[in-house]
Structure 1
Amino acid sequence: MDRIAAMTAFVRVVEAGTFTKAADTLNLPNATVTRLIQSLEEDLKIRLLHRTTRSVTVTPEGAAYYERVVALLADLADIESTAKQSVASPSGRVRVETAAGLAALVIVPALGEFYRNNPQVQIELGAANRQADLVAEGVDCAIRVGEVTDQFLVARRVGEFRFTTCATPQFLAEHGTPSTPQDLYALPTIGLSSSRAGRPLPFRFVNGDENLELSLAHRLVVNDTNAYLAAGTSGLGIIQAPTYGVHAALGDGSLVTLFDEWTVASIPVNVIYPPNRYLSAKVRVFIDWVVALFERHEYLRRPRPVR
């Protein structure tokens, strides 16, 4: 038995929840993963996993073993990575997931800088508005908007979404300019559907101690930021859009802001990755680059503390 391979297979089954998903992420046949763990259990003379036709659960002995093995494999990966980094630059493929709007408007336009500094790293960028299963799908990291509720994932705060309520001058000339947020109930609006909630995000407003959350009857609902921005700049209705996506249109007058006395609460943006897995040099340099990219971005960086 290859003990390291068996330990790796065991850790991946625990994290993925099934033998099939673990085998997929390891690029091994299902039967090989099963055989490795059976050999590990026979050698240790304990049952690590409870198996049924539908699920895999960890035994108490398996949970204790998992914690120790994860630390051991992380140390081993650290030793190997340190040795490799002493003679080579970061290299290899990094699988990344993020929302389509962030990919198109922020990440992809800036990748030239990343490649100039890391020419041997290849990025496989999944730009989809869904919550990828990082472990099951073999994703190295994801750039995700919103609070991270999955305690199984490690999150590194990189920035935040700020929002602007706006419309085209032509739309306002035709439908009138609302003077208060409540006027939106009587006007055509565009909704952006959340992949997590499965329904349009409410329009939110803050003015001092007053907080409003409006669930509007939108004339159009889309689930993609690029389509949302296109609907707004086409004059189809009022939008409450990420500021990073509309600042150019606001600058050239294609869109104008509404309710300037009101603000909109920001939403955090995090880079997330599976825990208990050593970050290889290629993944680490990509995450560090994302952190620096957001820090430089006027409309995505975290507010600087007031001194």
Structure 2
Amino acid sequence: MAMDRFQAMRVFVRVVDASSFSRAADSLGMPRTTVTIIIQQLEATLQVRLLNRTTRRISLTPDGASYYEHCIHILGEVEEAEASFRDAAKGPRGRLRIDVPSTIGRQILIPKLYDFHERYPEVELAIGMSDRHVDLVREAVDCVIRGGVLADSTLVARRIASFKVITCASPKYLERHGVPTCIEDLSHHVAVNYFSSRTGRIIDWDFLVDGQSIPVKMKSEVSVNDGEAYVECALQGFGLTQVARFMAHKYLESGQLIEVLPQLSPSPIPISVAYLQNRHLSPKVRAFVDWVSELFSSCPMLSGVDTHPDACSSLPLKAPSNTLRQEIDQMNLVGAL
């Protein structure tokens, strides 16, 4: 029976951990002979020897070592599933480690984080903020927020937003190089490029033309792999950038950045919260996924449409000033904001 098999796994793991049949039997509250019989039956069922036995010690065989690792994994999964139901009435609790891109963390997540704490005070948060690829298993991370299409089949992903992307530059850059009005003009411009932390590859720009995504390779004088550094380089006048509108909104408002090519919007970037398949029953992970989905859905700017974030108190955006509108009019960029 299935439960007998689980019992055999638990007994086997306990014997290995205790390095003794007698100590394992004592800790399990079983007669030593029962423990011995269970191990013998398990070896007979598997048709392999799991343990080398001498009068002084026991040790794992190669097959035993492999089976032990499988048992640890299976029993851990069972324990986590059982704990999730056992603790459901008490609410989510324990340490939750998440990782988010630095800009999303600082501008969207952190300003609202105390709301999560008030809802789930028994959850201890450990938040990593970086734009690098994170190995959830090796780094013991419970869930991540990431942009783009997630290709990792070991993760369960839930889309929570879609960021509108705009092309923009500083007035200083546009005064020196002019305002591009079509894709062909870009061959006379330079960009701040962004490269992947994982592969080192420069990420191509793209524009939507008649519903089709058109990739464009841009020349650059500087490339970075951090969202905030990317925007800062644009502010300094290094070149054109393609950036999520929520990252640029305050600079658009102040006139430090100006949108160009508004008729050729880049493809929206999907944003997902992702977690390992074996974490889907964890109350703390489920609580965070539901909360962050609610947070992102409450802000119109994160819906992928070109709208002001009036309903998102963490991302206030005032109407552009008359002075700024005059500057934009002079550059034939009416309606860019």
Fold in common (TM above 0.5): yes
Q: What residue in structure 1 maps to residue 135 of structure 2?
A: 133
2-structure distance, mates of 1:298, 1:104? 18
Q: What residue in structure 1 maps to residue 229 of structure 2?
A: 227
Q: What residue in structure 2 maps to residue 299 of structure 1?
A: 301
Q: Does 1:156 align with 2:158?
A: yes
Q: What residue in structure 2 maps to residue 81 of structure 1?
A: 84
1-structure distance, mates of 2:302, 2:19? 45
**Aligned partner of residue 191 in structure 1, secondary structure:** strand
2-structure distance, mates of 1:170, 1:41? 77
Residue identity matched to 1:180:
C
Report how far residue 33 of structure 1 moved.
Answer: 12
Q: 2:42 aligns with which of 35, 41, 44?
A: 44
1:117-141, Cα deviation, whole Å (9 max, x unpaired): 2222221111122221111221111
Summarize the Cα distance change of 1:101–1:42 in structure 2 as closer, same or farther, 3 Å threshold.
Answer: farther
**Aligned partner of residue 198 in structure 1, secondary structure:** coil
1-structure distance, mates of 2:40, 2:302? 53
1-structure distance, mates of 2:139, 2:153? 18
Residue identity matched to 2:91:
S
Q: What residue in structure 1 maps to residue 330 of structure 2?
A: none
Report how far residue 79 of structure 1 moved.
Answer: 3.8
**Aligned partner of residue 130 in structure 1, secondary structure:** coil
* Structure 2 runs not aligned, ≥5 long: 1-6, 21-35, 51-62, 306-337
2-structure distance, mates of 1:278, 1:41? 33
Q: What residue in structure 2 maps to residue 122 of structure 1?
A: 124
**Aligned partner of residue 139 in structure 2, secondary structure:** coil
Report how far residue 259 of structure 1 moved.
Answer: 0.7
5 Å-filtered alignment, 1:181-220, equals: 181-209=183-211, 211-220=213-222
**Higher relative contact order (Cα pairs below 8 Å, separated by 6+ residues):** 1
Contact 1:158/1:291, CA 8 A, preserved across alignment: yes
Contact 1:167/1:257, CA 8 A, preserved across alignment: yes
**Aligned partner of residue 277 in structure 2, secondary structure:** coil
Residue identity matched to 1:284:
R
1:17-56, Cα deviation, whole Å (9 max, x unpaired): xxxxxxxxxxxxxx96999xxx99976323699xxxxxxx
1:142-192, Cα deviation, whole Å (9 max, x unpaired): 112121212121111111232110012222122211121222222231001
Q: 2:176 aligns with which of 149, 174, 182?
A: 174
Residue identity matched to 2:256:
S
Q: What residue in structure 1 maps to residue 94 of structure 2?
A: 92
Contact 2:84/2:281, CA 8 A, preserved across alignment: no
Contact 1:41/1:48, CA 8 A, preserved across alignment: no
Contact 2:103/2:227, CA 8 A, preserved across alignment: yes
2-structure distance, mates of 1:258, 1:48? 71
Q: Does 1:239 align with 2:237?
A: no
Task: Give RMSD over aligned pairs.
Answer: 3.6
1-structure distance, mates of 2:211, 2:283? 46
**Aligned partner of residue 218 in structure 1, secondary structure:** strand
Q: What residue in structure 2 maps to residue 272 of structure 1?
A: 274
1-structure distance, mates of 2:140, 2:190? 42
Report how far residue 295 of structure 1 moved.
Answer: 0.7
Q: 2:103 aligns with which of 96, 101, 104?
A: 101
Report how far residue 2 of structure 1 moved.
Answer: 8.8
**Aligned partner of residue 265 in structure 1, secondary structure:** coil
2-structure distance, mates of 1:168, 1:141? 36
**Aligned partner of residue 189 in structure 1, secondary structure:** strand
1-structure distance, mates of 2:78, 2:154? 20
Contact 2:194/2:230, CA 8 A, preserved across alignment: yes
Q: What residue in structure 1 maps to residue 149 of structure 2?
A: 147
Residue identity matched to 1:173:
E
**Percent identity over the alignment?**
30
Contact 1:207/1:261, CA 8 A, preserved across alignment: no
Residue identity matched to 2:85:
T
2-structure distance, mates of 1:265, 1:225? 18
Summarize the Cα distance change of 1:277–1:179 in structure 2 as closer, same or farther, 3 Å threshold.
Answer: closer
Residue identity matched to 1:80:
A
- Structure with greater Cα Rg: 2
2-structure distance, mates of 1:48, 1:140? 36
TM-score, L = length of structure 1: 0.74
